[in-house]
Amino acid sequence: MNKPKLVLVGNGMAGVRALEELLKLAPDLYDITVFGAEPHPNYNRILLSPVLAGEQTIEQIILNPLSWYADNGITLHTGKTVVEIDRIRRVVRTDDGLEAPYDRLLLAMGSLPFILPVPGKELDGVIAYRDIKDTETMIDAARAHKHAVVIGGGLLGLEAANGLMLRGMDVTVVHIMPWLMERQLDDVAGKLLQKSLEDRGLKFLLGAQTQALLGNDAGRVRAVQFKDGSEIPADLVVMAAGIRPNTALAESAGIHCSRGIVVTDTLQTVTDPRIYAVGECAAHRGIAYGLVAPLFEQGKVVANHLAQMGIGRYTGSQTSTKLKVTGIDLFSAGNFMGGEGCEDIVLSDPFSGVYKRLVVKGDQLVGACLYGDTVDGSWYFKLLREGRKVSDIRDKLMFGESHLGDAGHQGQSKAQLMADADEVCGCNGVNKGAICKAIKDKGLFTLEEVRKHTKASASCGSCTGLVEQLLMFTAGGDYSAAPKKKALCGCTEASHQDVRDAIREQHLLTIADVYAALGWRTPNGCSSCRPALNYYLISTWPHEAKDDPQSRFINERSHANIQKDGTYSVVPRMWGGETSAAELRRIADVVDKYKIPTVKVTGGQRIDLLGVKKEDLQNVWHDIGMPSGHAYAKALRTVKTCVGSEWCRFGTQDSTSMGKILERATWRMYAPHKVKFAVSGCPRNCAEAGIKDVGIIGVDSGWEMYVAGNGGIKTEVAQFLVKLKTQEEVLEYTGAFIQLYREEGWYLERTVHFIARVGLDYVKQRVLGDAAGRVALWERLQFALQGEPDPWFELDKAQVDARQFIPIVPVAAALGEPA
């Protein structure tokens, strides 16, 4: 076997993550050798703070045990420092003379702590805080000594100080700047943090400049001396005044370095394309990242390139910060200090210890600094990364979005206040303790991983916000929040938007075309991407792209809702929720004839027949003789109406006929997700139009149109769009809005999420501001629906495979007694 050789220098989180990504893409491409200077396998460096604080053990933070290297055929050399790269012969050499040849070399040496150049820095008891050895030294020192001084009031220094204090030392933090964590917090939040840490017993000397470290006769540090001549006692000094990219090895090999090893968007060094660098030692567009999320994004790109796929590009990351000190909640991201051209939105509640500052520039959020209540940190971070316009939500911005649903977790919104036994995921019965344990034990970093391993937030998703908080809190602040661009599924790098754009721009008509155009990694996709692609194709190119029933969920393939026991439910369509004696009689007869166990009235004013055997479905449809209610589809479900002016003494408009007109015009309409309408005849709104995708409310002078309401997981009140005069206008505006959603929404995105993404202003501009565009949208919807079959009665035309309804019965003889 003559596989090319890949050598990784640096056995830490960035490098090993890149290997993991590579093994996923191309498991057998390389002979891999790893060199690590520390005597340990890859561990989670972020979690050294909880180890120091006594909350976790070293064993718990190991990410890749030795067996992982063996299982993947990786040669691992621990405790060996690479001291030379010979780029001519393409070998690396270690301090003890070991040589390893390479075809591709990945540098991930991380960073080195910055040691203040003061007299006494080499005394015993003066250490940095970087690795397991430093952590063990601190734990030992805490047993034998009393006074600790931490130099540096940044993230690392405060975590070290907190850990040493918890281990019983008397700790002073010395910081040269006027407030703590000045690179992550503004002065107000910094002071709040200081107060809270002082209440726990830490001491601070701010604005203090260290002049020298003084030793005793045995050569151990005994005191720290400052510029003004004052001294404080110190048996242990921890230098946490910053880190520097570890570039000595690269520089000695003539590789260009400037604040790190300079790399391109493919993470190749600019000097030698065989050599790659990732993580804290690499400088990408002038930035050396020290947080996990960017390192993981880099790992993905470098793996893609090493796997010879060559389609990944790293274009930089936005980062956010969170302090891993139990019980202290702070979050910051972006330009939280503001400045020229920026405006601050500030909320300050000293009594509750809550401070929030949002920095807005133009119509975008550019920075956030939160203290005491960080529930919305991930939402702000998302707005920041995506650069979404916030002018339309500016008045609500401060109060957050909160991904949290309204039910299923006892009304809790702050994960930290919950007890381990409290339920986080009400669908799958997962409590806080189980989630935290899985994050720690299995080394999970992403929401997807937590969903896979614990099922928490994997069903309705209403607890996603809580799970994200737990991730931030347990895995460390720099947990890998959703990247800038989220891939549609594991089969591709492309996002929903990329796919929609490609289908439209390249006029793609089949799923196979999409696979080819966008480089799908799997032969026939997965249960996440296939339904999405099928929808995008038929919604973008109606009457051109052919529907693929095998790429639809079973409900849309069998045109009924599958139930937990494998039977189905049938919901016939009743226009506007109106029915008749004849229809009810037929339904009653069908219930008797097919022995249907349950008959239920639904929230959308329809009748649901539950427990129908699959073999009976066709006959049930036929005997009922009513159109499909599409209660099983990502399509128009129901138009709910009140009785309106025809009967109601308060009614101002004929809501029932308006509802029927809307329903007849838009049924059979597939959409990114289910769609529900309602029409009420007066502002009393008995049809609950305020929580529907489109809600129409009759008033004396016409109709008010509301959009993007939702009654589900999280109740969202629909937003007012426009006031209309006639039924024709209601039809045109509703059609135009829903067609915009059909053309531009992402699969499984409800209208409320669509508008949260694109902004109500955008919808107004397309539907209200552009009259010709509105008419065109409405016409495109009518064109798409032209000749669209009712799947219950035109099976062939709707491509319903009738074979699915008939089980195969092997010939009777075969099922008898064997001969």
Partner 1 sequence: MNAPDLPAAWTAVCAVADIPVLGARRVRRPDGVEIAVFRAEADRIYALLDRCPHKGGPLSQGIVLGDAVACPLHNWTIRLEDGRAREPDEGCTPTFGVKVEAGQVWLRHDELLAPIAAMRTAHCDGAACAEA
Q: Which residues here bind partner 1, judged by CB under 8 A?
A: 452-453, 522-527, 530-531, 549-551, 553-554, 557-558, 562, 564-566, 801, 803-804, 807-811, 814-815, 818-819
Contacts of 427 (CB under 8 A, 6+ apart): 408, 458, 459, 460, 462
Q: Minimum distance between the CB of residue 304 and partner 1, rounded to whole angstroms?
A: 21
- Separation between Cα atoms, residue 647 and residue 641, nearest integer Å: 13
| Closer CB to partner 1, 419 or 809, in the complex | 809
Question: Left (φ > 0), alpha (ψ -120 to 50) or beta: where does 623 sit?
Answer: alpha
Chain CA centroid to CA 153, Å: 31
Cβ distance to partner 1 smaller for residue 83 or 554? 554
Determine the Cα–Cα distance for residues 160 and 224; give it in Å rounded to an integer.
Answer: 17
Q: Which is nearer to partner 1, 341 or 818 (CB)?
A: 818
Nearer to partner 1, 178 or 429 (CB): 429
Query: Which CB, 21 or 31, lies closer to partner 1?
Result: 21
For partner 1, the closer CB: 77 or 442: 442
Distance CA 18, CA 595 (A): 59
With b for 16 or more beta-carbon neighbours within 10 A and e for fewer, the 12-32 pattern comes to bbbbbbbbbbbbebeeebbbb
Angle at Cα 166 formed by Cα 160 and Cα 172, nearest 5°?
55
CB of residue 669 vs partner 1: minimum separation in angstroms? 23
Nearer to partner 1, 212 or 562 (CB): 562
Least distance between partner 1 and beta carbon 428 (Å): 9
Give me the least distance between CB of 514 and partner 1, in Å please: 15
Closest contact distance (angstroms) between CB of 815 and partner 1 is: 5
Q: How many CB atoms lie within 10 A of CB 242?
A: 16
| Smallest separation, CB 806 to partner 1 (Å) | 9
3-state secondary structure of 629: coil
What span, in angstroms and rounded, lies between the C-alpha atoms of 745 and 741?
5
Phi-psi category of 429—alpha, beta or left, where left has phi over 0 and alpha has psi -120 to 50?
A: left
Phi, psi (deg, nearest 5) at residue 215: -110, 165
Residue written as token pair 């793996």? 303
- Phi (first) and psi of residue 428, to 5 degrees: -110, 10
Least distance in Å: CB of 791 to partner 1? Answer: 16
Considering the complex, state which of residue 388 and residue 442 has its C-beta at the smaller distance from partner 1: 442
Q: Residue 768 corresponds to which amino acid?
A: L
Strands 719-724 and 126-128, by their bridges, are unpaired
Report the C-alpha gap between 280 and 463 in whole angstroms. 33
Strands 342-349 and 330-334: unpaired
| Residue type present at position 801 | D
Please, which residue, 360 or 533, has the CB nearer to partner 1? 533
Q: What is the largest CA-CA distance in the chain?
A: 104
Distance between CA atoms of 18 and 106, rounded to whole angstroms? 9
Q: Which amino acid is at 747?
A: Y
Shortest Å distance, C-beta 550 to partner 1: 5
CB 578 within 8 Å of CB 588? no
Name the minimum Å distance from CB 64 to partner 1: 17
At its nearest, how many Å lie between partner 1 and the CB of residue 537?
Answer: 16
Q: How far is the CB of 557 from partner 1 (least distance, A)?
A: 8
Q: Cα-Cα-Cα-Cα dihedral of 415, 419, 425, 427, to 10°?
A: -150
Q: In the complex with partner 1, which residue's Cβ is closer, 71 or 95?
A: 71
Do 678 and 695 touch, CB atoms closer than 8 A? yes
Nearer to partner 1, 115 or 427 (CB): 427
Three-class DSSP category at 485: coil
Nearest to 480 by CA among 11, 15, 13, 106: 13
When the beta carbons of 548 and 623 are compared against partner 1, the nearer one is: 548
Closest CB to partner 1 among residues 53, 439: 439
Q: In which residue are the tokens 């600790």 written?
A: 148
Residue owning tokens 């891939």: 487
Q: Nearest approach, Cβ of 83 to partner 1 (angstroms)?
A: 40
How far is residue 69's CA from residue 784's CA, in Å, rounded to a whole number? 55
CB of 523 to partner 1, least distance (A): 6
